[in-house]
Structure 1
């Protein structure tokens, strides 16, 4: 399988490995995000030992680890009575010959033996530091990695020499995989999101409709039950979490709305929401002008485009999909898909704003995000407190060109955004899938910027 991008992460690992002395790296992130692929690409042409932990008894985990060490060094498998013996054996081997040692799915080991971090600490302090070898602990349970490896209470705290929190691909990064034109790429990305496994499953020589029906709506397809699989590997009783994700995907975004849609009282609900945030399946947002911790105007959204698509269209229609998937696509998904894509388009446009800021093609803004108050919303608002400057932008995924009406609406809504002094400097931008009415740009002053899909393609091009 082709390995895409991750150049910065590979360079970080290469630099660490080639520097003198030992290295202890931590690599973590959501499932399917490509952690194992990254580490295998890094290890491919270097001496390494790769151990993938499994959900099995502690003694069997240790036996397999020792067997992997012995195999890597072409050695006879020794007898070990505990993890301290296992790490001593690894230390003896590394004292003779340096290696990259990768322990993948480390949380599985911790689940069976919560003393593992202490054994690793002793190994790092007493054996690894005397070598030029590199230890990498990798895991998909973000909460376990952050508490048991990176957290202040962990025996391993302060030992790591580097860490990589691997995230899904941005739209710009995903373009290396998606070979469609910009409009179709946005549509595809609204279904797959930036998770490498999902991105690479699609055949971009076929239509989006064919890909959806083949890889998602077919009961035999790998993505048909994917969200359930993800939740069941993380949670013992995922039913309520599934109902929360479905409610949010269907537009119930405030705690009160989620509670009403799921029947879960606000007390327990807050714990479920926090768990889903820890798993990086839900994101919480507040208006960009508000305080993130104190604001009561929070909204939740599904943190992954594929999961948002699945909970919006697949989960509510499972029975019908089992009987007639093509009818579900034609009658339910296809007519509503532009509404789904429109949300993704807003995220793509925000990504473009940050890219323009990085390039210096747009004035700098320290905070960029959505704004809302009551019934009024603005898709993108950028704040530059030091300069008393504000950016207000709308994103339109419609079949018609944007006209003067939207310009007037955005100007009017700007007055509702209570931020900065009265004489603040205001900048405006509009992103449009279908372009703009003839002459609109000529009617606007230099405080306005208009971007069509061709502009977006240039901004977010990988070339």
Structure 2
């Protein structure tokens, strides 16, 4: 797979390895986000041992680890009975040469021997200390990495010198991969999200429809069962979690709505939602000026565009897809896809606002997010408390150009946003897939900014 972006992550790793002394680095994140490719890119021109753990018996895991260490130092494999001795052997070798040592999929080792973190602790404290080497523990099981390595009760707590939570690409980062024009790039991102493996599966010389049918709707395709695979790696009984994700993807976003759609009582549901949030599979949104933990106006959303697409279109239509995927695409997905993409477009516009703030296209705002109260909603609201300034923006993924109706609607909604003094500075922005009616910009004063998708593309293209 071609390596894209990740300059910030590479810089973090490079700064760590080039600083004096030993380093213990933790790299984690959901499957398919490119952790392995990142570490291989980092190690490419450095002396290193890269060990990829597998789901197999402990003695085979340890034997393979020792094989790689001994092979690097051109030695015979020592007779060793436990992980404590294996790490002692590695430590002896690091006295001869400074290396980067990567143990990928570390949770597989922990699954076979839950004492591994203690052995690594002994290695970090006694063997690694005093060298200029680096050990990197990497894993895709977010729950294991956070509890067994980063958690307060882990023997390794507080010993890391750096950590990387590798997340999917933003649209701006994914744009490097997606070679469609800007409209189709947004539509494509609404299907793949920012997961590098999903992005690179698509053939951008083919239409989006062809890619969806060949890579998502085909029962033999990798992405057809991908969400089930992801859930089964983290959860023993994923059925209820899948029903929650499907409910949220289909628009049931409050706890009461999710409970009604799934039949799960509010008590157990709260625990399921907490688990899905910890696994980065759903996010809890609150209005931008609300207190996050205390707000009762929370909504949930599927945290990944591909998962949202899959649970909206694939999971509810499995039987039909098995029989006639083309009919499912033509009759179910294509007519509804603009509604699905509209949510993605709001996120892309929010990225554009942040980039506009960095570039000076927008005035500074310290917080940017969605706002709602009762039946009223505004797609993007930015807050600048020190200047009593508020940004109010709407994003329209429609086939018709935006006109005065949206301007008047946004002005009316602004009156319901209770924030700042009565004489606050109000700035407005409109983002439109299909542009604006002739003469609209001339009718508006300097407090309004209008953005087409071409303008968004310019904003998100590196200067």
TM-score normalized by the length of structure 2:
0.98
Superimposed CA distance per residue, residues 269-324 of structure 1 (whole angstroms, 9 cap, x where no aligned partner)? 11111111111110111111111000111110100000000000000000000000
| Residues in 2 aligned to 1:60 and 1:271: alpha-carbon distance in whole angstroms | 37
How far is the alpha carbon of 1:369 from its aligned partner? 0.6
| Residues in 2 aligned to 1:4 and 1:220: alpha-carbon distance in whole angstroms | 27
Moved more, 288-297 or 15-24: 15-24
How far is the alpha carbon of 1:41 from its aligned partner? 0.9
Q: Which residue number in structure 1 is paired with residue 58 of structure 2?
A: 58
Q: Which residue number in structure 2 is paired with residue 438 of structure 1?
A: 438
1:328 aligns with 2:328: yes
| Residues in 2 aligned to 1:4 and 1:462: alpha-carbon distance in whole angstroms | 14
How far is the alpha carbon of 1:19 from its aligned partner? 2.4
Please report the RMSD computed on the Cα atoms of aligned residues, expressed in angstroms.
1.0
Contact in 1 for aligned 2:317/2:328 (Cα 8 Å): yes
**5 Å matches for 1:277-292?**
277-292=277-292
1:121 aligns with 2:121: yes
Contact in 2 for aligned 1:190/1:309 (Cα 8 Å): yes
| Residues in 2 aligned to 1:229 and 1:167: alpha-carbon distance in whole angstroms | 18
How far is the alpha carbon of 1:72 from its aligned partner? 2.1
**5 Å matches for 1:5-24?**
5-24=5-24
| Residues in 2 aligned to 1:255 and 1:126: alpha-carbon distance in whole angstroms | 49
Q: Where do 4+ consecutive residues of structure 1 move more than 4 Å? A: none
How far is the alpha carbon of 1:152 from its aligned partner? 2.4
Q: Which residue number in structure 2 is paired with residue 308 of structure 1?
A: 308
Secondary structure, in 3 states, of the residue corresponding to 1:395?
A: strand
| Residues in 1 aligned to 2:41 and 2:67: alpha-carbon distance in whole angstroms | 23
| Residues in 2 aligned to 1:62 and 1:385: alpha-carbon distance in whole angstroms | 56
| Residues in 1 aligned to 2:64 and 2:259: alpha-carbon distance in whole angstroms | 46
Secondary structure, in 3 states, of the residue corresponding to 1:96?
A: coil
Superimposed CA distance per residue, residues 237-274 of structure 1 (whole angstroms, 9 cap, x where no aligned partner)? 11001111000000000011001000111111111111
Secondary structure, in 3 states, of the residue corresponding to 1:32?
A: coil
| Residues in 1 aligned to 2:124 and 2:213: alpha-carbon distance in whole angstroms | 49
Q: Which residue number in structure 2 is paired with residue 427 of structure 1?
A: 427
| Residues in 2 aligned to 1:173 and 1:280: alpha-carbon distance in whole angstroms | 19
1:389 aligns with 2:389: yes
How far is the alpha carbon of 1:80 from its aligned partner? 1.4
TM-score normalized by the length of structure 1:
0.98
| Residues in 2 aligned to 1:205 and 1:70: alpha-carbon distance in whole angstroms | 46
| Residues in 2 aligned to 1:55 and 1:253: alpha-carbon distance in whole angstroms | 36
Contact in 2 for aligned 1:394/1:430 (Cα 8 Å): yes
Q: Which residue number in structure 1 is paired with residue 274 of structure 2?
A: 274
Contact in 1 for aligned 2:396/2:431 (Cα 8 Å): yes
**5 Å matches for 1:139-154?**
139-154=139-154
How far is the alpha carbon of 1:57 from its aligned partner? 2.7
Moved more, 50-59 or 447-456: 50-59
5+ long unaligned stretches in structure 1: none
Superimposed CA distance per residue, residues 119-167 of structure 1 (whole angstroms, 9 cap, x where no aligned partner)? 1111111111121111001111222222221222222122111111111
Contact in 2 for aligned 1:27/1:164 (Cα 8 Å): yes
| Residues in 2 aligned to 1:241 and 1:72: alpha-carbon distance in whole angstroms | 44
| Residues in 2 aligned to 1:318 and 1:306: alpha-carbon distance in whole angstroms | 16
5+ long unaligned stretches in structure 2: none
| Residues in 1 aligned to 2:228 and 2:342: alpha-carbon distance in whole angstroms | 26
| Residues in 2 aligned to 1:157 and 1:423: alpha-carbon distance in whole angstroms | 50
Q: Which residue number in structure 1 is paired with residue 414 of structure 2?
A: 414
How far is the alpha carbon of 1:69 from its aligned partner? 1.4
**5 Å matches for 1:150-229?**
150-229=150-229
How far is the alpha carbon of 1:344 from its aligned partner? 0.4
Contact in 2 for aligned 1:26/1:137 (Cα 8 Å): yes
Contact in 1 for aligned 2:141/2:233 (Cα 8 Å): no
Contact in 1 for aligned 2:20/2:132 (Cα 8 Å): yes
Q: Which residue number in structure 1 is paired with residue 3 of structure 2?
A: 3
Alignment size in residue pairs = 463
Q: Which residue number in structure 2 is paired with residue 91 of structure 1?
A: 91
